[in-house]
Amino acid sequence: MNENLLKTGERIDQLYSDQVKIIQNKDVFSYSIDSVLLSRFPKIPSRGLIVDLCSGNGAIGLFASQQTRARIVEVEIQERLADMAQRSIKLNQLEEQVSMVRDDLKNLLDYVPRSGVDLILCNPPYFKASETSKKNLSEHYLLARHEITTNLEEICQISRHALKSNGRLAMVHRPDRFIDILDCLRQYGLAPKRIQFVYPKVGNDANMLLIEAIKDGSIDGLIILPPLIVHQDNGDYTDQIKRIYFGSHENEKESKNL
């Protein structure tokens, strides 16, 4: 069955800490640590409605599905990526819980009720469209990483319309966009509540940030979480990242080696 779902150049990846399997293609799109961290960052509601915007190959929504019975709607504009996500949904037999919408996220309210979403997850394009020097040659990566088909303001605007009062938006982004993010969230009535900076190693500058905001929330009570360090000095994952990637399997492996 698995082989029948794969197209040329594709593979199936799985986190050791998770049962879900993701169809990947390094030349088209593959999830990375930012997707994994975002799926673990907010408290996932046990029921209700979750939306995964800019979903790519569907990894974040599929990872989140293992933590909840909520209905999950994934939204991706690129046909090739949406097709990969749809096949991953089928691969994991999650058709009753997770659905894929191939459309521009500005049309989200055609698929979910206004003010009806409990949580929006978003791994958006990080770079402004004017940042041309490092654009990837692949069209798929180009659209996924640069604000060409959507941008930060549009994401905040549609989140404002789709979220319930006290519903939450959780994003992963780049630290150099931090001020833009805060300004945009507040412009659309989304109060930042939790922020965590992610560092490649101790002593390095942060290269990611995780942020959670609440619709119509108070601007008071912002929490800056302890830093999240990805690698030890020798290049191995830190214990915290190991727990995210490997869960109890890593602990079992270490116990067998003692």
Domain contains 7? no
143-189 pLDDT, tens digit each? 445 445 668 999 999 999 999 999 999 999 999 999 999 999 999 99
- Those residues with Cβ within 8 angstroms of residue 154's Cβ, 6 or more apart along the chain or in another chain: 105, 106
71-104 pLDDT, tens digit each? 999 999 999 999 999 999 999 999 999 999 999 9
**pTM score, whole prediction:** 0.88
| Rounded average pLDDT over 18-28 | 88
CB-count exposure of residue 167 (10 Å: 0-12, 13-18, 19+):
buried
Domain contains 4? no
The CATH number of the domain holding residue 55 is: 3.40.50.150
Bridge partners for 169 per DSSP: 120, 213
Which letter does DSSP use for residue 74 in this model? Answer: E
Angle at CA 187, nearest 5°, toward 182 and 190?
A: 70
Domain contains 8? no
CA distance 155 to 105: 8
Which letter does DSSP use for residue 110 in this model? Answer: G
The residue type of 175 is P
Domain contains 3? no
206-232 pLDDT, tens digit each? 999 999 999 999 888 999 999 999 999
- Those residues with Cβ within 8 angstroms of residue 78's Cβ, 6 or more apart along the chain or in another chain: 29, 102, 140, 143, 144
CA distance 154 to 92: 31
Average pLDDT, the chain: 87
For residue 29, the enclosing domain spans: 13-246
The helix/strand/coil state of 79 is helix
Tokens representing residue 135 in the block: 């654009």
CA-based max dimension of the chain: 55
Domain contains 1? no
**Domain count of the fold of the chain:** 1
Question: pLDDT confidence of 253, banded at 50, 70, 90?
Answer: very low
Domain contains 5? no
Radius of gyration (C-alpha) of the chain in whole angstroms: 18
CB 37 within 8 A of CB 74: no
What is the model's pLDDT at position 43? 94
Domain contains 2? no
Let me know how long the chain is. Answer: 258
Domain contains 257? no
Residue with tokens 């799109």: 29
